[in-house]
């Protein structure tokens, strides 16, 4: 998980396809890559905004895009409004409620009166060091979408696709007119998604990947990183990668009981020390999944085969 040596240009409206534009927030980090990408859907007088992003100037008060990066949204709401122009925002949609995705929803609603629609609210205190952004306590949707439920504007129809795993409330959004899928943090080309217990669930995540593999989406637009032009190929690779990690864990436990730090050291050679916590959370998510299948057990923070 490496970010570019220089920040990407933020605040610009980039045309992805006739009905889709994106605006990059200034919150680049080792977990957000170049930053959170907000998508504007629609080419007429009413648009939808997907993942409005962060809304403040950084957790540590430093406006630099490389510090306080999970929450730094300085100027991002203004950039979204400039991109929308004279159009009306008919819906503000969030894929999930991590602080790099949803806080600007409340600000946009206050500025425009647009309803917040999409994922359910979720606020948790994690039981370990967070490997990505914390949950947004301000998120208050006007309407929650169920799997398969649709909303529409003059030239667009958006369908909710439930994809729990990264978080239990994660939704993707399908643009019916073009075959595009906005994947939030569920599928990204630059990195695998963080699956961090207790809310992150590896079993649910794998099932959601399989669900996307069975779809016929033309392109994925993730919240971080470039568009995915070959969705099935990427999802197939991600399923294989997770199964490989599971096999690594079972092989290590076959050699004898292990702690999570022992397994991380063996599985992630040359890992950036700043990402050790994220790797440990991923291993823990796999272990919980294997424990649910009756394959492993835990004794005082040491794991073993059953």
| Coil vs helix vs strand at 190 | coil
| CA 240 to chain CA centroid, nearest Å | 20
Report the pLDDT value the prediction gives residue 35, as an integer from 0 to 100: 92
**pLDDT by residue for the chain (306 residues), tens digit each?**
455 545 578 999 999 999 999 999 999 887 788 999 999 999 999 999 999 999 875 554 444 444 455 778 889 999 999 999 999 999 999 999 999 999 999 999 999 999 999 999 986 655 454 445 678 888 999 999 999 999 999 999 999 999 999 999 999 999 999 999 999 999 998 888 889 898 899 999 999 999 999 999 999 999 999 999 999 999 999 999 999 999 999 999 999 999 999 999 999 988 888 778 888 999 999 999 999 999 999 999 999 999
Q: What is the pLDDT of residues 101-134, one digit of tens each?
A: 999 999 999 999 999 999 999 866 554 544 456 7
Report the pLDDT value the prediction gives residue 4, as an integer from 0 to 100: 53
For residue 99, what are the CA distances in angstroms to 4, 70, 105?
Answer: 22, 7, 11
Report the pLDDT value the prediction gives residue 133, as an integer from 0 to 100: 62
Q: Where are the beta strands (DSSP E) in 147-255?
A: 150-153, 156-162, 171-175, 180-184, 219-222
Judged by phi (left if over 0) then psi (alpha if -120 to 50, else beta), residue 212 lies in alpha
Q: Which two tokens stand for residue 78?
A: 């203004």
- What residues contact residue 255 under an 8 Å CB cut-off, 6+ apart? none
pTM over 0.75: yes
Sheet holding 116-118, edge to edge: 13-17, 20-24, 37-41, 46-50, 88-94, 116-118, 143-144
Strands 88-94 and 46-50: parallel
Report the pLDDT value the prediction gives residue 293, as an integer from 0 to 100: 96
Report the pLDDT value the prediction gives residue 192, as an integer from 0 to 100: 84
Question: With the C-alpha atoms ordered 73, 76, 77, 78, is the resulting torsion angle positive or negative?
Answer: positive
Report the pLDDT value the prediction gives residue 58, as an integer from 0 to 100: 53
């Amino acid at each position: 998980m490496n970010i570019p040596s220089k920040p990407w240009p933020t605040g610009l409206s980039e045309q992805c396809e006739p009905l889709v534009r994106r605006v990059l927030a200034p919150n680049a980090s080792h977990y957000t890559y170049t930053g959170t990408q907000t998508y504007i859907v629609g080419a007429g007088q009413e648009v939808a905004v997907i993942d409005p992003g962060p809304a403040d100037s950084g957790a540590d008060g430093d406006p630099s895009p490389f510090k306080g990066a999970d929450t730094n949204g300085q100027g991002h709401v203004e950039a979204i409004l400039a991109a929308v122009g004279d159009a009306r925002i008919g819906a503000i949609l969030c894929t999930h409620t991590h602080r790099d995705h949803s806080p600007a929803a409340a600000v946009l609603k206050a500025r425009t009166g647009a309803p917040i629609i999409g994922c359910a609210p979720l606020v948790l205190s994690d039981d370990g060091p967070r490997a990505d952004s914390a949950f947004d306590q301000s998120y208050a949707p006007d309407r929650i979408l169920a799997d398969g439920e649709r909303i529409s504007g003059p030239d667009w129809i958006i369908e909710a696709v439930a994809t729990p795993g990264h978080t239990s409330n994660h939704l993707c959004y399908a643009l019916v007119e073009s075959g595009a899928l906005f994947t939030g943090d569920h599928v990204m080309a630059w990195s695998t998604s963080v699956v961090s217990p207790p809310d992150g669930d590896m079993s649910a995540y794998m099932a959601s990947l399989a669900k996307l593999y069975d779809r016929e989406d033309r392109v994925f637009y993730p919240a971080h990183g470039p568009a995915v032009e070959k969705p099935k190929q990427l999802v197939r690779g991600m399923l294989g990668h997770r199964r490989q990690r599971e096999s690594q864990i079972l092989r290590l436990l076959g050699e004898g009981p292990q702690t999570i730090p022992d397994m991380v050291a063996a599985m992630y050679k040359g890992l950036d020390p700043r990402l050790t916590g994220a790797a440990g959370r991923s291993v823990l998510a796999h272990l919980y999944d294997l424990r649910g299948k009756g394959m492993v057990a835990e004794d005082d923070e040491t794991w073993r085969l059953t």
